Amino acid sequence: MTRASVVGAGMTTFGPHERTLAELFAEAAFKALDDAGATNDRIDAFYLGNTLGGMTENETHLAPKLATHVGITGVPAQRFEDACATSSNAFKHAVQAVENGIHDVVLVGGVERCTPETGLDTPRMTEIFASASDKQYEQPAGITFPGVFALLTNRHMHEYGTTEEQLASVAVKNHANGQHNPHAHFGKETTVEEVLESPLIADPFRLMDCCPFSDGASAVVVTSSDAADSFDSPVDVKGIGHATGTVPAADKESLTATQPARDAAASAYEQSGRSAADVDFAEVHDCFTGAEILATEALGFFDDGEGGPAAEAGRTALDGEIPVNPSGGLKAKGHPIGATGTAQIVELTTQLRGEAGDRQITDAETGLAHNLGGDAGTTLVTLMEARA
Amino acid sequence: MTRASVVGAGMTTFGPHERTLAELFAEAAFKALDDAGATNDRIDAFYLGNTLGGMTENETHLAPKLATHVGITGVPAQRFEDACATSSNAFKHAVQAVENGIHDVVLVGGVERCTPETGLDTPRMTEIFASASDKQYEQPAGITFPGVFALLTNRHMHEYGTTEEQLASVAVKNHANGQHNPHAHFGKETTVEEVLESPLIADPFRLMDCCPFSDGASAVVVTSSDAADSFDSPVDVKGIGHATGTVPAADKESLTATQPARDAAASAYEQSGRSAADVDFAEVHDCFTGAEILATEALGFFDDGEGGPAAEAGRTALDGEIPVNPSGGLKAKGHPIGATGTAQIVELTTQLRGEAGDRQITDAETGLAHNLGGDAGTTLVTLMEARA
């Protein structure tokens, strides 16, 4: 079953921007509308992802504010916040709304500012990012997200023998892809040596194992699949899985399984009638190199413990058997928290239309997006397909 | 058409609490589950409203955190933020999910801490509350929400001759109702004289025209109406309207119309096949006395300009023709921002079951909830009915 279709997609470049949230969002929204060939009077609901705006900008009630700014005042507008999975969840609700006839043509987008352009310094931003970790047990202990994912990755190294070189190979691949993405925060290649020589952040992660936090926005126009027939280049949503897991990390049954990703993937595969073997490429949530390795196992691309060797062997490269993060991923494209989920949908749309230029996956027909929040306590997995 | 049903409802007392967000939420959630006669393994999705947790508690990613705390880990969990209309919007999405067969039995709730128990002082909390106003035009001018609603109310006084005594009569009525509500922040009566002698906050509002900000939580269990048959005391959702308007206030076509309330009410009436004349009682968003008067006109209970005289004449009293805010409203019951929307649904459920004790509306068959966000730039209107 086709559930809904993306008929327009747009995003800003990711990286430092000297612009307001409203200005950033408007660029992405108008690009998405232009891409759809739609004017804003066609939009009958608005689904917004923004994670940190209260803390970073003293901005709440952003959905009607941004709706006003892009000329879609009056429609039902809602803001979602689910840590780094924020705008994927907005997208899920938009898809559910059009497939159930609640709305016809909706705008979904995410926007965030995280760089020093906010006027906030690194200690304050670090505290803000830590808001997604457990308040009672994790925040007082001073564990921030490099530490959380370092715990998961260290356990993976212990159980399966995953190496620092394998982690580094993820960064090298994603930077190689990102150089072909004009929207990427980082447009340059790196090497395993450069990664391994970068400063240690949280063992085993070095600076170059970590994604940057970026400013940016992304947006898509979503319609029912029937309504999509009247648009030029629809791409179909076949399934969206959404699952959560225990927070804090210490209470998880397994640190390496990222169970919500497995549950969400199983749901997306079941909804779409597809399996991991059918997926031609994936955008996964590589906030840290280790997170990508865990994700490729949780999604069923590789057996548990095989993610590291697979990355090192080039099996996830642009010309590999299952290309992962052709956009450059969070690692090279950047990570404006609330904009990341819909940016993955933008990349899926671009690839499935065959419009990805130098980073185009050959014969891309089925794409998957994996977007996690917090310590992987939230995960959404979306499966999309090109029209025949 | 019956869209969905509330089969369980619970809330904490509203007021200062020396407890964490998780503890507050759990009390409301377990009360709602107990009231439904359901165990937490029946819950297959979670819809959370929380507005300020990032700023007040350094807490994001609250949906899976609170899900873990109440033992419903694993299910899709999402947090909504739409200023003071936050948990009504969570409720809308929960209703849409069960009526479209996406989920069967879901938990919806809101939680917030706003009092000095947060450790934050009044200047900081005032800045936080102002986050819902426009960042570019309103925040720099120093206009906070008493000022925003004072502008709307002053215009109403100018156009229709609404008086300070009429405003005060809203406070008197809501305090009279709130004394019968064991969950209310304020349990005492007041008089027109006491209101008019209280300190001026933002002309024409005096202290006693303003609702307090509270700590508290509220929750309901929602099912499809078919599934509701197996529960003891279901109350049916007949319609939910949701509309937004232009932000900032200066750009609104009319300050007194609160157009989103009119649009949301029209939608809720159309969905339910009911009109204002069919409504037996209403919970409305009386963040300030003037807001209640504007709401009773926007909802169609009174002609424009008649809201003030109607309140003064007792037409909205507990024994009046259209009782408004039998719970005491935000004014007397209190206003823990993200918990207010679902608390209105709790009151509708309690009244429609005939379980409201000394504040019970006689023959209450149709109830309406009106919950606004920001400068009324978001409004949700929900219409619920008792089972025959």
DSSP one-letter string for A33-82: HHHHT--GGG--EEEEE-SSHHHHHS--SHHHHHHHHTT-TTS-EEEEEB
Q: Write the burial class of residue A200 (CB in 10 Å: 0-12 exposed, 13-18 middle, 19+ buried).
A: exposed
Per-residue pLDDT of A54-88, as tens digits, reads 999 999 999 999 999 999 999 999 999 999 999 99
Q: How confident is the model at residue B388 (pLDDT cuts 50, 70, 90)?
A: confident
Size of interface A-B (CB pairs under 8 A): 178
Does the active-site annotation cover A210?
A: no
Give me the sign of the Cα torsion angle B258, B262, B263, B267: positive
- Backbone φ and ψ of A137, nearest 5°: -110, -35
* pLDDT the model gives residue A321: 97
Q: How confident is the model at residue A2 (pLDDT cuts 50, 70, 90)?
A: low
Cβ of A247 and B61 within 8 Å?
A: yes
Cβ of A378 and B63 within 8 Å?
A: yes
Query: What letter represents residue A208's amino acid?
Result: M
- Which residue, among B7, B40, B31, has the nearest Cα to B232 in the 3D structure? B7
Look at phi and psi of residue A120 and say left if phi exceeds 0, alpha if psi is from -120 to 50, else beta. Answer: beta
Cβ of A55 and B52 within 8 Å?
A: no
Q: How confident is the model at residue B256 (pLDDT cuts 50, 70, 90)?
A: very high
Optimal mutation site among A23, A47, A61, interface B, most CBs of chain B within 10 A: A61
**Among all residues of chain B, which has the CA nearest to that of A248?**
B65
- Backbone φ and ψ of A39, nearest 5°: -95, 160
pLDDT for A1 beyond 60: no
At the top level of CATH, the class of B4-119+211-386 is alpha beta
Global ipTM: 0.97
A104 three-state secondary structure = coil
pLDDT for B309 beyond 70: yes
What does each C-alpha distance from B3 to B45, B94, B231, B240, B382 come to in angstroms? 17, 11, 16, 9, 11
Considering only CB atoms, B52 lies closest to which of A51, A54, A245, namely A54
Contact B232, B349 (CB under 8 A): no
Strand partners for A8: A221
- The enclosing H or E element of A301 equals none
B96 contacts on A by Cβ (under 8 Å): 96-97, 100, 102
Cβ of B78 and A76 within 8 Å?
A: no
Residue B313 distance to chain A (closest CA, Å): 34
Cβ of B79 and A76 within 8 Å?
A: no
Per-residue pLDDT of B100-125, as tens digits, reads 999 999 999 999 999 999 999 999 99
* Mean pLDDT calculated for residue range B118-147: 95
* pLDDT the model gives residue A374: 97
Q: Would you list the domain boundaries of chain A?
A: 4-119+211-386
Optimal mutation site among A3, A57, A68, A81, interface B, most CBs of chain B within 10 A: A81
Q: Which residue has the higher pLDDT, A174 or A229?
A: A174
What string of H, E and C letters represents the secondary structure of B9-69? EEECCCECCCCCHHHHHHHHHHHHHHHHCCCHHHCCEEEEECCCHHHHHCCCCHHHHHHHH
Q: Which residues, 6 or more positions from A140, have their beta carbon under 8 angstroms from its beta carbon?
A: none
Cβ of A245 and B74 within 8 Å?
A: yes
Does the active-site annotation cover A180?
A: no
CA distance B192 to B173: 10
Q: How confident is the model at residue B3 (pLDDT cuts 50, 70, 90)?
A: confident
B218 three-state secondary structure = strand
Per-residue pLDDT of B48-78, as tens digits, reads 999 999 999 999 999 999 999 999 999 999 9
Secondary structure of chain A: what % helix, strand, coil (to 5)? Answer: 40, 20, 40
Optimal mutation site among A19, A65, A253, interface B, most CBs of chain B within 10 A: A65
What does each C-alpha distance from B323 to A165, B109, B301, B326, B364 come to in angstroms? 70, 25, 10, 7, 10
Concatenate the DSSP letters of all residues of B164-179 into one string. HHHHHHHHHHHHHHHT
pLDDT for A388 beyond 90: no
Strands B235-244 and B4-11: what pairing?
antiparallel
Strand partners for B386: B235
- Backbone φ and ψ of A280, nearest 5°: -85, -25
CA distance A13 to A25: 11
Give the lowest-confidence range in A5-9, A240-244, B384-388. Answer: B384-388
pLDDT for B144 beyond 60: yes
B373 three-state secondary structure = strand
Strand partners for B221: B8, B107
Give the residue numbers of B annotated as catalytic, written as ranges: 84, 335
Contact A219, A342 (CB under 8 A): yes
Cβ of A83 and B61 within 8 Å?
A: yes
Q: How confident is the model at residue B1 (pLDDT cuts 50, 70, 90)?
A: low
